Amino acid sequence: MSLEKPISTIKKAVQRMAEESAEKESLDKPEQRHYDDVFTSYKILRMLEPKRLEVYIKTTAKSQELKNEIGAELFNVFDEVWIDATKEGKSEIKNEVDQLESTFKLLFPKEYNSELERIDKKYLKEKAEQVKNDPRVVQAFSGKEELLNKALDTTTSSMLDLMSYNRNAPKSKYY
């Protein structure tokens, strides 16, 4: 794994995943079993697809850093709105990518990849605007626009990394 600061990055990623698990159970903080579950899933993924694990750890660590920087309350509002916004647009981007694939992929592979990146960036920009204008975000981040911009930049950058990796990675035989 070629992480810049592997120990601290992994710790942040594990913390974020354990907190997510605890939140799903309406717990205030993670228990040891949450951390154990994260480590187990990371060990399995490391054996099966180490590069995918590296990308996931980096993006999850960024998410934890963002949460630490803007605070749990603002992070939770932002995260909820981001999830809602991106759920809505999955079919939009899939249709656009499917159309592109049918015309470009075999004939123009370089253009295909740059066009995919353009579509991803356009999609994320639209979602960022949607999140920025959502009443819940407007209210929560009133007077804290710098923190909102940080959240948007961090999230769109991480999503672009994940989307790019998932598109370019060899197809997994496991999922």
Instruction: Give residue limits of the domains in the chain.
Output: 1-70, 71-175
- Calculate the alpha carbon distances from 121 to 36, 40, 102, 115, 149 in Å: 36, 33, 20, 10, 16
pLDDT digits over 92-137, tens only?
A: 777 777 777 777 766 677 787 788 888 899 999 999 999 999 999 9
For range 160-172, the mean pLDDT: 80
Reduced to 3 states, what is the DSSP secondary structure of residue 27?
Answer: coil
Which pLDDT score, from 0 to 100, does residue 1 have?
46
Round to whole Å and give the CA distance between 54 and 64. Answer: 15
At 86-98, the pLDDT tens digits run 887 667 777 777 7
Binning pLDDT at 50, 70 and 90, where does residue 172 land?
low
